[in-house]
Structure 1
Amino acid sequence: MRAVTKGITVGAVTAALFAGLAGCANPWGSGSSAGAPGTEGAAGPPENAVRLIGDGSTAYTGAQPGLTRPERLKPGQRPPQFVVFSWDGAGEDSQKLFSHFRRVGKRYGATMTYFLSGVYLLPESKATLYDPPGHAPGRSDIGFNDVEGIRDTVRELRGAWLEGNEVGTHFNGHFCGPESGVGTWSVEDWKSEIAQAKSFVKNWRTNSGLKSEKSLPFDYDKELIGARTPCLEGRKNFVRAAAELGWRYDTSGINDQVWPEKERGLWDLSLQLVPVPGRGFETLSMDYNFMVNQSGTAKGDPSHHRYWGNQMRDGLIQAFTRAYQGNRAPLIIGNHFESWNGGTYMRAIEETIAHVCVQAEVRCVSFRRLADWLDAQDPAVLAKLRTLKVGRAPATGWADFLAARPKAPAARPSAPSAHGTASAAAMPRRAG
């Protein structure tokens, strides 16, 4: 991975957490929420459920629409095949990829996780409100936004959440590398970065001057339960900070396609190694990693674009198939809203979504929903699932592999022997 620049200007920042108390009568803006930009096909929350937070940039509006309570697997039941599509640094810019993939998700019944970079809700003119650990105030390797970009990004975030998608965080300045990147940050540095990311979401109205815009319909303190670190760096101290903050998952690591387990109380939902068709190695399940292994640049030979996109699509579908027909481990996929190599990776992701999300027993969901399902399961069942290797289905079938564990029989009174004494012979046992 690398820093993700979206044509949003670069400038300078200080961390001041502010809580403007400007209010508004209707956090959804003037008029009805139904049909409002960014909420197509999603009903607004009941009016009596709305509670403004801070300056009205966010609001508590009740439970997220359209979500159902996860169910525990029944004995012998085959697990569903989970697939998570996620986006680092989610923001709406001139490429309009955020709004595009919202439509793709609705078309194929997929919800996703959008990891917002907090500085995408901070205008260039207020850059010095950001005080990044190890850097001068106002520094960001991915720049900041302009007012129209903030308006567009907030619209997409609002609509995405109302459609059942998750809004996570990709933090702020996206600093990578050994000198002063996130890999050098302490636990307290991570906590500072997280607090600032939250503050930019909770105060975008004040910072941008867009005080008549509709609120984001969620409490970000409660919504934010997981993340992916920039460049997958700094994970050790980030996980410690996230655990202390009560978060529920991390997706910054590297793993095989096996069932996840917890680390410091967080679900380890790492990116995974997947096939690269025609090559003798595997790479991470992310668009950037395919690009690096193909062209090494975002502007490779146009005559290879279609081949590279097909190679990524086919590799992801191969990874899906070996899990779907094998151990049913969740497939974790990461992406960026970028047009590297002519947008070929965006085409690859869209075609992957179209292929996998319509299959029987497949659930294309956000990390939050996957974590909800994992938390609902019997820990002993998950431990057994973790014994399955990559692409390996249970040798004796799912019904036998996840059958109910035999119960010890209830104690029975000893039968008298022919001599009137208790028999020492053991009663035959059978599975309960």
Structure 2
Amino acid sequence: MLRSYRVLASSLALLGCVNAAFADPPKPQTVSPAKPKQVVLISFDAARDISQWERSRALAKRTGAHFTYFLSCVFLLSPETRQDYAGPGKAAGKSNVGFGASKQDVAERLEQVRLAAAEGHDIGSHACGHFDGKDWSKADWLTEFASVRRIFENAYAIKSISPEPPGWRDFARHAVTGFRAPYLSTDKPLYEALPEAGFQYDASGVSNEPELPPTRNGITHFALPLIPEGPKAKPVVAMDYNLYVRHSGGIEKPAMADEFTERAYQAFHAAFDTEYNGKRMPLELGFHFTLMNDGAYWNALERFAGEVCVKADVECISFRDYVARQRAGQAQASVGG
């Protein structure tokens, strides 16, 4: 009887080994793919006031961010040299945003441009006289772009500012690769003119939400997204001027600056959190050098950037750098595929 139990036990053990041999191999542990870094694109239009140049550059140094400055080239001309610019269909010396205040003012702005570029920031074009080009022809846009490049390249010579930094003209010929239209006002001829004028990207669009910028006809197209804002989470274009109009009807209300700062900060952070915890689409935020509502929107920006740009999985980079990475990736895929 004992022998029978031993035979049965041996048989069961053998059966277990056979079953183990033919069992499904253990499944490898699934690992979720790593998320890409969250990209934040912060830009400034017009880029006039010297104090705001200095303030933004200081913010970048604190946070490791790189910004894009869309410069209006009339700010490289003083009242004495304003005749050097004539917008399409406009008399010489006309501008919707004025000119530089003086030769010294222009010299200081040129130095800020030089310093910002040396620190890795992106210098883009905001055209020259801040005119609405929605009805311009392709020839009109090319004329405006030619004025931008001529004034930028010859800025020191036009105002007899010396010494001109070594390499300035070469820098001026090649540095400006991006454009944002005044008033975000565009037309079909603009997009025909941009590649001919040597631009690589345009940041004049508006989108319903953050999205991947497409590239068409050699131009990468960025768009300021609509983001929820305020007690009712109503969508607003992610730009300080649009918040200014939303909050105070475009009229200064300095007594409410703290409230507006908090609302703007909350809107920026909510939009960021949606992408950071979701698909991680690039988030674009736009500003001006004008301190609307007693600087509410710059105060919100500094608080926001100070919290998010320092994160290990966040990059606050310029449009130029985003385009360069995108195109390098496409080139690598093309070579490897």
Same fold (TM over 0.5): yes
Q: 2:218, 2:165 → 1: CA distance?
A: 35
The answer as to whether partners of 2:136 and 2:187 remain within 8 angstroms in 1 is no
Report the secondary structure of 2:149's partner residue: helix
Match of 1:285 in 2: 238
Which residue in 2 is equivalent to 1:154? 110
Q: Aligned in 2, Cα 1:114/1:204: closer, same or farther, shift over 3 Å?
A: same
**Matching of residue 127 in structure 1 with residue 79 in structure 2:** no
How far off its partner does 1:375 sit? 1.5
Aligned to 1:8: none
Mapped pair 1:270 → 2:223: yes
Q: Which residue of structure 2 aligns with residue 85 of structure 1?
A: 42
Gap regions ≥5 residues in structure 2: 1-31
**Partner in structure 1 of residue 14 of structure 2:** none
In 2: Cα distance, 1:372 partner to 1:213 partner: 29
* Equivalent in the alignment of 2:317: 365
The 2-side partners of 1:279 and 1:341 are apart by 21
Partners of 1:275 and 1:283 within 8 A in 2:
yes
Matched, 1:205 2:169: no
Q: Distance in 1 between matches of 2:98 and 2:296?
A: 25
When normalised by structure 1's length, the TM-score is 0.66
CA 1:207/1:378 → structure 2, altered by over 3 Å: closer, same or farther?
Answer: closer
Which whole-Å deviations, capped at 9, do the CAs of 1:108-134 have from their partners, x for residues lacking one? 000111111111111111111111012
Give the CA deviation at 1:343: 1.0
State the match for 2:195 in structure 1.
243
Q: Alpha-carbon deviations, 1:396-418, whole Å to 9, x = none?
A: xxxxxxxxxxxxxxxxxxxxxxx
- Tell me, yes or no, if structure 1 residue 219 matches structure 2 residue 192: no
C-alpha contact 2:145 2:197 (8 A) present in aligned 1: no
Alignment partner, residue 134 of structure 2: 183
Give how far 1:140 is off.
Answer: 0.3
Kindly provide the CA deviation profile for residues 330-376 of structure 1, in whole angstroms up to 9, marking residues without a partner as x. Answer: 11111101111111111111111111101221111110001112223
Deviates most, 184-193 or 370-379: 370-379
- In the alignment, is the contact (CA less than 8 A) between 1:161 and 1:167 conserved in 2? yes
Distance 2:282 2:124 in 1: 19
Task: Name the structure where helix makes up a greater proportion of residues.
Answer: 2
Q: Offset at 1:378?
A: 5.0
Q: How does 1:278-357 map to 2 (within 5 A)?
A: 278-300=231-253, 302-357=254-309
TM alignment of 1:57-96, pairs within 5 A: 76-93=33-50, 96=51
> Runs ≥4 in structure 1, deviation > 6 angstroms?
none
Instruction: Measure how far apart 1:326 and its partner are.
Output: 0.7
> 1:136 is aligned with what amino acid?
A
Query: Where does residue 143 of structure 2 map in the other structure?
Result: 192
Name the aligned partner's letter for residue 305 of structure 2: I
Structure 1 residue identity aligned to 2:66: T
Work out which of the two has the higher radius of gyration on C-alpha atoms and give 1 or 2: 2
> Amino acid of the residue matched to residue 91 of structure 2?
A
Match of 1:39 in 2: none
CA distance in 1, matches of 2:315, 2:167: 26
Query: Alignment identity in percent?
Result: 32
CA distance in 2, matches of 1:234, 1:79: 32
Aligned to 1:390: none
Counterpart of 1:131 in 2: which secondary structure?
A: coil
Q: Count residues with an aligned counterpart.
A: 300
- CA distance in 2 between counterparts of 1:150 and 1:235 reads 31
